Chains A and B, each alone.
Chain A
Amino acid sequence: MPEPISRNTVAKVARLARLDLTEAEVDRMTDQLAGMLEHFRDVDALDLSNVQPLNQPIPLTNVLRDDVEQPSLDRDEVLGNAPAAQDGRFRVPPIIGFEE
């Protein structure tokens, strides 16, 4: 039986999710995720050739609102909850660099 999920995949997913996992945590997550994926093998065993993929469990479409403006949240109150703010804006560390 193929390996349900590789250690590398778990490490990559962690990196994409900005999770700083220790080696021991990667091992533990790999085991746990493998266990979860094992459960889907039960589903795979069923004949689902006549079953359409389910996009949404709620049997609704076209839930829409009218294009009517509501007041904004108070800026000062919102920025008061931010780690840093300046000139009415959120202040964040530098983002991205160019390759040289």
Chain B
Amino acid sequence: MNAANPSSVVATAEQLIDGWELVVGLEVHVELATRTKLFSASANRFGDEPNTHIDPVTLGLPGALPVLNRHAVELAMRLGLALNCRVQPCTFHRKNYFYPDLPKAYQVSQYDQPLNVDGFLMLPGDVRIGIERAHLEEDTGKSTHFGGAEGRIAGSEYSLIDFNRAGVPLVEIVSRPDIRTSEQAKQYVSELRAILLAVGASDAKMEEGSMRCDVNVSVHKPGTAFGTRCEIKNVNSIRAVGRAIDYEARRQIDVIISGGAIKQQTLHWDDAAGRTNVLRTKEDADDYRYFLEPDLVPLAPDTAWVERVRAALPPLPAARRAALATLTGQARESEAIAVVVERGQDSYVSEVAKVGGDAARALVYVQQAFADEPATPRVPAGDIAALTLMEKNAKITSTQAKTLLADLVANGGGDVIAMAKAKGFESMDTGALESLVDAAIAADPDAWAKFKAGEQKAIGALVGAVMKSSKGKADGKAVTALLQAKANT
């Protein structure tokens, strides 16, 4: 560890890349789910006709004055508190630069006194990633580049600008450089996204740009000072976060090994090509000439307001996953748990358990069949509970349960016992099943010989034959078990 380094997290030996320690910090921008913009009353709506949500403030017309959106502040506080930040009195600054999608020639942002500071976010395995700040700022317009290589900045002949997005409220969440692997970076973005959705601060759609990641990457030898960092922009999916970091770490290590030095640069991630390109070389940080925005007064949420927001926070994803894992007996980090919590259907699973259903099966059903259902699915919890019990008590096979589940979803519920009867689903007793298995073996001695000789694939033909002769009533798992038992004797 080096005293001068801005993070005291030390990589484990397994986390090193050929003996190099990776340091990653993330700056994530999220658009807040408000009705209107941060400083003006035009709609904050994605996907509408260009330049149909514009006003004097958005366009930077002379004399236009910004007024802060109360709901944007509230959502930013909600997010800050969910990230364990301290909410503090804060001010707004102008960040000055010239770009056509920024009509005022400055972005209103927060500088040395941001709204939320000193938080943290927990990753799986009790890894704690510090949050330096989560501040409010306004989004820019959207540029589309034409001519040259279509849609790209390089070699373009002109650009068209849509200001619908200009002035949309953003929170920029800046992590501390505590991330040591690309996997952790992906987990961080994924967890942040889950929190944003849980508290309703943003729809966090990376593909639509309402959640955007800039990734700071550097490498150094363990025990030495951190290396010079490069910032990668345009990283638009969780997968791309991992790929961009892996690529950039390798690039930097190769540059240093071959005797070169890393220049502090802004890079652009080209996901199709799987590489970074140099966007611009940063000269110094002072180029933005931040100064206090004279058109806005300070924001100072009082304790009562902060505590009201805190008290209204919903249970957060980590706690909800833990609760669902306990209820269903599944691993806290399993995919089913993550997916169901993200959809907000975890309370539905516990509702199914509460009315007597089998929680583990309910989790599987909900994960598999409720992807297009709202947080509170239309199927009554009692119907799903009944179905879990029928399968658990072997009244029906898992295949039959799947069929009935699909029907329940399609019809928005139903009497599963009657439905099973109508479909002729009834369990086969073991004796009947065994005679079907014997018949299948007799009919296909070739497959049976291969299976007995250890060729596992050969079991498929036999199981298939039993399913067919039983008209789908046999339980595939039971058939497989029977065949295994017979082969072992």
Cross-interface CB contact of A67 among B55, B69, B159, cutoff 8 Å: B69
Interface residues of B in 151-170 (CB under 8 A from A): 153-163
Question: Does A3 sit within 8 A of B, measured CB to CB?
Answer: no
Interface-facing stretch out of A26-34, A35-43, A54-62: A54-62
Interface residues of A in 57-80 (CB under 8 A from B): 58, 60-70, 72-73, 75, 78-79
Provide the residues of chain B in CB contact with A61, threshold 8 Å. 89, 297-300
Q: Are A55 and B292 in contact (CB under 8 A)?
A: yes
Provide the residues of chain B in CB contact with A78, threshold 8 Å. 51, 54, 59
Q: How far is the CB of B142 from chain A (nearest CB, A)?
A: 9
Number of B interface residues in the complex (CB < 8 A): 59
Question: Does B419 sit within 8 A of A, measured CB to CB?
Answer: no
Provide the residues of chain A in CB contact with B99, threshold 8 Å. 95
Provide the residues of chain A in CB contact with B70, threshold 8 Å. 64-67
Q: How far is the CB of A11 from chain B (nearest CB, A)?
A: 14
Interface residues of A in 80-94 (CB under 8 A from B): 86-94
Q: How far is the CB of B304 from chain A (nearest CB, A)?
A: 12
Minimum CB distance partner of A63 in chain B: B297
Q: Are B67 and A65 in contact (CB under 8 A)?
A: yes
Provide the residues of chain A in CB contact with B281, threshold 8 Å. 99
User: Contact flags (1/0) for B32-70 with A, using CB distance below 8 Å?
Assistant: 001110000111000001111111100100000001111
Minimum CB distance partner of A82 in chain B: B161
C-alpha spacing A90/B59, complex, angstroms: 11
Cross-interface CB contact of B161 among A66, A92, A96, A97, cutoff 8 Å: A92
Interface-facing stretch out of B272-280, B368-376, B383-391: B272-280
Q: Are A94 and B145 in contact (CB under 8 A)?
A: yes
C-alpha spacing A83/B292, complex, angstroms: 31
Interface residues of A in 8-53 (CB under 8 A from B): 13, 16, 18
Q: Are B100 and A92 in contact (CB under 8 A)?
A: yes
Interface residues of B in 62-91 (CB under 8 A from A): 67-73, 89, 91
User: Contact flags (1/0) for B8-51 with A, using CB distance below 8 Å?
Assistant: 00000000000000000000000000111000011100000111
C-alpha spacing A92/B52, complex, angstroms: 19
The secondary structure that dominates the A interface is loop
Minimum CB distance partner of B98 in chain A: A18
Minimum CB distance partner of B287 in chain A: A16
Given A94-B145, A94-B157: A87 and B50 interface contact (C-beta under 8 Å): yes
Minimum CB distance partner of A87 in chain B: B160
Cross-interface CB contact of B34 among A67, A93, A96, cutoff 8 Å: A67
Interface residues of B in 87-124 (CB under 8 A from A): 89, 91, 96, 98-100
Given A55-B292, A89-B51, A91-B160: A99 and B68 interface contact (C-beta under 8 Å): no
Question: Does B236 sit within 8 A of A, measured CB to CB?
Answer: no
C-alpha spacing A87/B158, complex, angstroms: 13
Q: Are B158 and A93 in contact (CB under 8 A)?
A: yes
Minimum CB distance partner of B160 in chain A: A89
Q: Are B51 and A69 in contact (CB under 8 A)?
A: no
Minimum CB distance partner of A59 in chain B: B297
Provide the residues of chain B in CB contact with A93, threshold 8 Å. 158-159
Q: Are B36 and A91 in contact (CB under 8 A)?
A: no
Interface residues of B in 297-353 (CB under 8 A from A): 297-301
Cross-interface CB contact of B36 among A60, A68, A88, A96, cutoff 8 Å: A68
Question: Does B143 sit within 8 A of A, measured CB to CB?
Answer: yes
C-alpha spacing A72/B300, complex, angstroms: 30
Q: Are A73 and B162 in contact (CB under 8 A)?
A: no
C-alpha spacing A95/B146, complex, angstroms: 11
Question: Does B289 sit within 8 A of A, measured CB to CB?
Answer: yes
Provide the residues of chain A in CB contact with B41, threshold 8 Å. 65, 68-70
Question: Does B268 sit within 8 A of A, measured CB to CB?
Answer: yes
Q: How far is the CB of B270 from chain A (nearest CB, A)?
A: 10
Q: How far is the CB of A60 from chain B (nearest CB, A)?
A: 5
C-alpha spacing A89/B32, complex, angstroms: 24
C-alpha spacing A90/B34, complex, angstroms: 26
Q: Are B297 and A98 in contact (CB under 8 A)?
A: no
C-alpha spacing A58/B99, complex, angstroms: 31
Q: How far is the CB of B428 from chain A (nearest CB, A)?
A: 61
C-alpha spacing A18/B54, complex, angstroms: 26
Provide the residues of chain A in CB contact with B67, threshold 8 Å. 63-65
Interface residues of B in 133-186 (CB under 8 A from A): 143-145, 147, 153-163
Q: Are A65 and B162 in contact (CB under 8 A)?
A: no
Q: Are A67 and B71 in contact (CB under 8 A)?
A: yes
Provide the residues of chain B in CB contact with A90, threshold 8 Å. 51, 100, 160-161, 163
Given A65-B67, A95-B99: A56 and B292 interface contact (C-beta under 8 Å): yes
Interface residues of B in 252-295 (CB under 8 A from A): 268, 277-281, 287, 289, 292, 294
Pairs A–B under 8 Å by Cβ, sample size 24 = A55-B298, A56-B297, A62-B297, A62-B300, A63-B297, A64-B68, A65-B69, A68-B41, A69-B35, A72-B42, A73-B54, A73-B56, A79-B51, A89-B50, A89-B160, A91-B159, A92-B160, A93-B158, A93-B159, A94-B147, A98-B153, A98-B154, A98-B268, A99-B281
Q: Measuring CB to CB, which residues of chain B are less than 8 angstroms from any residue of chain A?
A: 34-36, 41-43, 49-56, 59, 67-73, 89, 91, 96, 98-100, 143-145, 147, 153-163, 268, 277-281, 287, 289, 292, 294, 296-301
Pairs of residues from A and B, 4 with the lowest C-beta to C-beta distance, nearest first: A67-B71, A70-B41, A89-B160, A64-B70
